[in-house]
Structure 1
Amino acid sequence: MQNGNEFTATKAERLYSRVMKRNPEAEKKLPEEVRRNVPSNGLKQIFATALQSAGDQTVNASTVLPWLFSVLGVPPALTGLLVPIRESGSMLPQAALTPRVVRVRYRKWIFVVGSLIQAAAAAIMAGTAALASGLTAGIIIVLAMAVFAYGRCLTSIASKDVQGRTIPKGERGQINGLATTAAGLVAITIGVAIRLIGGDNLTAGQIAWLLALGAVLWVFVAWIYAGIREPAGESEAEQSKSAEPESDKPKGNWFTDTVALLREDARFRQFVSVRSLLLVSSLSPPFIVTLSIQHGAGSLAGLGGYIIASGLASLLGGRMFGRFADRSSNRLMSVGAGVASAVVIAVVLATIIPGFSGAGPAGELFFIAAYFAITLMHTGVRVGRKTYVVDMAEGDLRTKYVAVSNSAMGVILLIVGGISSLLALIHVIWALLFLAAMGLVGVVAGARLPDVSSGK
């Protein structure tokens, strides 16, 4: 008769094998302890990442919080700070934090702490939405977003390292994809609930409950992630590798190490360059929303409509792109950027046609469809680049790759975001064309990245 642990392990094994296309050869190369826990660890990472992504929808800096600011009467200047703080704040500190993170034997605890910080920040936002208004509410929420971004910074550093330690090549992209699919289901549910409960006239109290839901989700994320069985330090296979590049050896403080890594590691520098060209799928959606408002789009293209579109993109894209990423993550990034750029150009061309209007069902469906297509491609780009950076290195070098690339992207994001915002002052169309041009260059550059995937 099986004991409880054996029964759970068997059940996890069956479920994991049912939802995943496993890579037996890669699993055989893992230490026995790691190989034995692949199914349970994989399922926990899927559930935790899915809940985290669902939580992101409740505290979305591009949709939910701008909507809340409008309801609370927060000055528009503060609204413009939300996305830069959310994105750059979660990326810029990573290189500075990495020397401390690599000293922690079990990286899952870094993720747990980061999740609890995000839960606390979301709870502060919820309380502020319920009790404050105007400039005061805006300042508190912006500061809470900075704290939230720091928590996300910690989870970003830790998650890829934990996945690299516990999941073999050929299965990592599928885990990212399945988590994205599950998050899409939750996002669709949230979007439908918003439209049924509040329509296009949500109150601050209703949004406060949405933010509180996000806080609860992150507590569950921390609880699930704490149960992952992570090997202490590096596996024996990783420790035996002595031929590390010079860029992986400590040279001084974190800043000089960061500069040295970018200067001396040509393959890593190429990845960061390509990633910077793929911002079309992440930065263009808010401009699509703005363009829809300028052309009279109304009820369908409301908060609930865009959340549903984003959730549907995750639902379809997660499963679709997970296995694609395991076969060729660099090709997935290129395809995603190319299609996103094509959609942006199509939207621009449509809106400059004389007589075009976003009002009415046809115009609203057009903008929702464009938003859906771009967020679908962003799902592919995100799954692809997450899988690529995990597959391209091992051990602490992987941690440094993740941290330094994200810190570099924090700076690049501020620069590209600033340029696109300045172009938007002339007209939103120019900002969209600028991002589309970057994406097209990224297609060519991404195709030239060396393939680091399993190819199966």
Structure 2
Amino acid sequence: MLTNKKHRLIAGLSLNKLADLLISAKTTLPALLISMGAPSWMIGWLVPIRESGALLPQALLTFYLRNHSERHSVWRAGMAVQAFSVALILSALVLASNSAMSGWTAGMVVLGALTLLSLGRSACSLTVKDMEADVAKKGERGNLIGTASTISGVATLAIALPLFVFSDTLDAYMLMGILGFSASVFALTLVCMWPIKTNVDVENVENGENSNTKNNHTNDNKNSLFSVKFDSTVYKFIFVRGLFVHSALVAPYFMLQKEQNAADLLPIYIGAEALATLLSSLVWGKVADKSARLTLQIAGAMALVACIGLLVSNSESLVLSAALFFVLSIAHAGVRTGRKTYSLDVKEGQERTELVGFSNTSIGLILLAFGSLYAALTPVLSFSVVYVMAAMIALAIVTTLILPKEK
């Protein structure tokens, strides 16, 4: 039975990762807005909305989960919302392509649907950790995440290659096909993981307690909404992870620096991201099972190299740009695997849920703050904002030394 659960979990995580890659805020959605004729400022908000929208609600959701042990029900609802959101984005693209909707209006619909998608992702991101922890033991979870990412990389690459080869004949329908397939994969993920159920021990009142004890416990839960106590590990993790968000924030600059048609660029960048996931995920998983801190350090160094390459290169070569984006994608895969494995291993049970929930909400706020900062700095700086982002990544690498060992 456990093996069957593990297979279903790997398949579901692989499908979910595939859908995420296809609807990426770093590749597909920028190309989508460009093709719609949406204002350029909307592109700068894709990553902050995608990431912060998935993170901000998690603290409140954590309080809800304190009295709800069946985490799989919340995960199912979140996955259904994501499938619906992608279908909404597809509808906006169809209307814009038929001139039934202006580029500005279609872009706003995309941003709104992306916000809704991120809320669904929020519910799934928080609750899937408990599903993973139930199915895989400590020391196996990084490999499980890496295996799923590798499978999704193979599938995404298989999709990107024909899109690249036949891009001349698929320009009008390529984005529609990617969006339609992504919505279907989200739905398939829901079907695949439906039988997986998890019940987490929560701090509910045990049978046999008197009414005064129950009332006191209820008051404690209410007060905890305003007074949450964590040990220093949580705050250190939030600080370090907050700096590592730059591995995602910097990605659109690799896409936007090129002047070619977005439809021509999209298959190349999707392919580069998929190939990076395919080649690196198993390695990242094995390294993370040894040390998640080391994983973050190595991945951060690779992201820094990619940023430096972008800054020092004056070439308009698409091959060089794709190669740098490939390196950045490998680095970002390592950052994701490292911080996921760290959060899985450093705490247990409800403490793990609260670590994930509150750190994710904090990261959502940090993303919005950085997004606003860079949006304000870009027009006034006499140099590329990527210099600032590269410095932040360098600082992130150094601060991993403050993280306690998780194994």
Using structure 2 for the length normalisation, give the TM-score: 0.89
Q: Which residue of 1 aligns with 2:241?
A: 275
Query: Are 1:71 and 2:35 an aligned pair?
Result: yes
Q: Which residue of 2 aligns with 1:198?
A: 167
Structure 1: distance between partners of 2:379 and 2:291: 39
2:114 partner SS = helix
Q: How many angstroms does 1:300 deviate by? A: 10
Is the CA contact 1:177–1:318 (under 8 Å) kept in the aligned structure 2?
yes
Q: Which residue of 2 aligns with 1:60?
A: 24
Structure 2: distance between partners of 1:400 and 1:428: 42
Select 1:187's aligned residue among 130, 153, 156.
156
Structure 2: distance between partners of 1:47 and 1:428: 48
Matched length: 387
Structure 2: distance between partners of 1:428 and 1:313: 33
Structure 1: distance between partners of 2:263 and 2:200: 51
- Structure 1 runs not aligned, ≥5 long: 1-8, 10-36, 240-248, 352-356
Q: Which residue of 2 aligns with 1:45?
A: 9
Q: Which residue of 1 aligns with 2:191?
A: 223
Aligned-residue RMSD, C-alpha: 2.4
- Shift of the 99–345 alpha-carbon distance from structure 1 to 2, 3 Å rule, reads same
Select 1:266's aligned residue among 219, 223, 232.
232
- Shift of the 438–80 alpha-carbon distance from structure 1 to 2, 3 Å rule, reads closer
Structure 1: distance between partners of 2:382 and 2:134: 44
Structure 1: distance between partners of 2:386 and 2:39: 25
Alignment of 1:34-433 (within 5 A): 37=2, 39-132=3-96, 133-134=101-102, 135-199=104-168, 202-203=171-172, 205-230=173-198, 232-234=199-201, 250=221, 252=223, 254=225, 256-257=226-227, 260-261=228-229, 264-291=230-257, 293=258, 302-351=265-314, 357-358=315-316, 363-426=317-380, 430-433=384-387
Structure 1: distance between partners of 2:8 and 2:170: 37
Residue 323 of structure 1 aligns with an amino acid whose one-letter code is K
- Shift of the 115–210 alpha-carbon distance from structure 1 to 2, 3 Å rule, reads same
- Shift of the 98–210 alpha-carbon distance from structure 1 to 2, 3 Å rule, reads same
Structure 2: distance between partners of 1:422 and 1:224: 43
Is the CA contact 1:112–1:223 (under 8 Å) kept in the aligned structure 2?
no
- Structure 2 runs not aligned, ≥5 long: 207-219
**Deviations 1:9-51 (CA, angstroms, capped at 9, x unpaired):** 5xxxxxxxxxxxxxxxxxxxxxxxxxxx2x2222222111111
**Deviations 1:346-394 (CA, angstroms, capped at 9, x unpaired):** 321223xxxxx31xxxx22111111000110110110010000011111
Structure 2: distance between partners of 1:233 and 1:350: 51
More deviation, 87-96/74-83: 74-83
Q: How many angstroms does 1:162 deviate by? A: 1.7
Structure 1: distance between partners of 2:36 and 2:260: 23
Q: How many angstroms does 1:275 deviate by? A: 0.5
Q: How many angstroms does 1:438 deviate by? A: 1.1
**Deviations 1:245-294 (CA, angstroms, capped at 9, x unpaired):** xxxx746253x24xx34xx4211111111111112321111112223x2x
- Shift of the 324–300 alpha-carbon distance from structure 1 to 2, 3 Å rule, reads farther
Structure 2: distance between partners of 1:272 and 1:413: 12
**Deviations 1:64-113 (CA, angstroms, capped at 9, x unpaired):** 12222222222333333322221111111110111112322221221111
Q: Which runs of 4+ in 1 moved over 6 A?
A: 297-301
- Shift of the 183–426 alpha-carbon distance from structure 1 to 2, 3 Å rule, reads farther
Residue 394 of structure 1 aligns with an amino acid whose one-letter code is E
Using structure 1 for the length normalisation, give the TM-score: 0.80
Structure 2: distance between partners of 1:423 and 1:116: 38
More deviation, 188-197/320-329: 188-197
- Shift of the 316–418 alpha-carbon distance from structure 1 to 2, 3 Å rule, reads same
Q: Which residue of 1 aligns with 2:209?
A: none
Q: Percent identity?
A: 28
Q: How many angstroms does 1:200 deviate by? A: 9.3
Residue 197 of structure 1 aligns with an amino acid whose one-letter code is F
Structure 1: distance between partners of 2:116 and 2:382: 30
Q: How many angstroms does 1:121 deviate by? A: 0.8
Structure 2: distance between partners of 1:300 and 1:114: 30
Is the CA contact 1:331–1:447 (under 8 Å) kept in the aligned structure 2?
no
Q: How many angstroms does 1:309 deviate by? A: 0.3
